[in-house]
Amino acid sequence: MRGSVRAPPSKSYTHRAVLAAGYADGATVRNPLDSADTRATARAVEAFGGTVERGDDAFVVEGFDGRPDTPEDVLDCANSGTTMRLTTATAALGSGLTVLTGDGSLRSRPQGPLLDALADLGARAESTRDDGRAPLVVGGHIDGGEVAIPGDVSSQYVTALLMAGAVTETGVGVELTTELKSAPYVDITLEVLRDFGVEAEATDDGYRVPGGQTYAPAGGEYAVPGDFSSMSYLLAAGALAADGELTVLGARPSAQGDSAIVDVLSRMGAPLDWDREAGEIAVSRADLAGVEVDVGDTPDLLPTIAALGAAADGTTRITNCEHVRYKETDRVSAMADELGELGAVVEEEHDTLVVRGGESTLRGGTVSGHDDHRIVMSLALCGLVADGDVTVEGADHVDVSFPGFFGTLRDLGADVTEQA
């Protein structure tokens, strides 16, 4: 594989920017990721009374100006956990009731702590099955207040409360009752809020956002940066199979925690050169060595690191990963099971995934993508180095975050055949 490729725009930033434009009177979101997940957030903005016109390089949003309508129908968040969590708090601002649901995977994901926090703020916030999972019924027009919430399940709860809290009367203070996992994602939220003219800050025990604020980006526009989560697969592909150099464009520094993939690959022995000013990372193939990585703040990197570990010499130990079990699927078990199908020696513990690459010989085979875009793309990496063809079932799920992923691999020189 060789050549240059531009990373997709950030899914995390696109979600927040589209919803922030919805909270505003309106805004243009430049360079957004147009994917299944971000379209779910756009539909939510429309359900709350806004409009989203999707173009080739921009989403033009007319917002609901901090006062969401009650949707005329059930709000279907499809497979997007970010959409559900962020817009659950939006629904609590309305005077009527919003019903939120999604596909089978999304209906299995925990929402209880966020529902409890919204109820503490005076909203009606319930799970129809009384198990803390969707379908959800939310409404009641919260005015703000103080809440306590665990930080070790999902940082998206904090993001949801901060984004909605800015347009309440008195603002929202969030006390964290446990250590915050995935903290860089809240840093992304604070960055987007600042760019939309909204003040919010970290406190000694959590976060606070004053109320009565207005969302309004400078010049009425916001530009989405490149996505380091998606970049991780391209950089990993270069480290595994580059003939010469593979260069990834659109890699300017931001608050994204998943930029840690650059450090992980460097520690594994991959030659990388990151020109931060130009936003370009060049990577070359190398014999990789196993490392230990704490993914407490970077859960989306676990599948990528596990795949790299299966192709590396020595042992790769991925720690602090319990919260990675509550994504689109249990990504810890999914990677353990599917890497094992391809000949990797893997040990799964409650909070740790150990991949013994030095004892593994990757072979071809058919594996399940578990209806999870990150599992699909990570297992595809194994096909670059396995002895034999690797077939990944459910490949269409890459549309969630990286539409055209397999075409990109093909353009860079990988042998990819897509099957109906």
- Annotated binding-site residue? 300: yes
- Annotated binding-site residue? 156: yes
Rounded to whole angstroms, how far apart are CA atoms 41 and 38?
Answer: 5
- Annotated binding-site residue? 227: no
Tokens of 346: 């893997």
First to last CA, the chain: 25
Closest CA to 356 of 311, 302, 321: 311
- Annotated binding-site residue? 285: no
- Annotated binding-site residue? 155: yes
Rounded to whole angstroms, how far apart are CA atoms 68 and 188?
Answer: 23
* Cα dist from 199 to 145, 285, 304, 344, whole Å: 16, 44, 35, 48
The secondary structure of 264-295 as a DSSP string is HHHHHT--EEEETTTTEEEEE----B--EEE-
Instruction: Kindly report the backbone phi and psi dihedral angles of residue 7, in degrees, each rounded to the nearest multiple of 5, phi listed first.
Output: -65, 150
Q: Pairing state of beta strands 206-209 and 172-176?
A: antiparallel
Active site residue 204: no
- Annotated binding-site residue? 331: yes
Burial group, residue 219, by CB count within 10 angstroms (0-12, 13-18, 19+): exposed
Local structure of 356: helix, strand or coil: strand
CA dihedral of 43, 77, 131, 155, whole degrees rounded to 10: -90
- Annotated binding-site residue? 66: no
Angle in degrees, 0-180, between the axes of helices 260-268 and 228-241, rounded to the nearest 10? 20
**Category of 129 on φ-ψ map: left (φ > 0), alpha (ψ -120 to 50) or beta:** alpha
Closest CA to 102 of 87, 120, 114: 87
In 234-361, where do the E strands start and end? Answer: 245-249, 272-275, 280-284, 292-294, 315-319, 345-348, 352-356
- Annotated binding-site residue? 181: no
The residue from 300, 351, 396, 415 that is catalytic is: 300
- Annotated binding-site residue? 154: yes
Q: List the catalytic residues.
A: 300
Q: Which residues are annotated as a binding site for phosphoenolpyruvate?
A: 11, 81, 109, 156, 331, 374
Q: Which residues are annotated as a binding site for 3-phosphoshikimate?
A: 11-12, 16, 154-156, 182, 300, 327
Q: Which residues are annotated as a binding site?
A: 11-12, 16, 81, 109, 154-156, 182, 300, 327, 331, 374
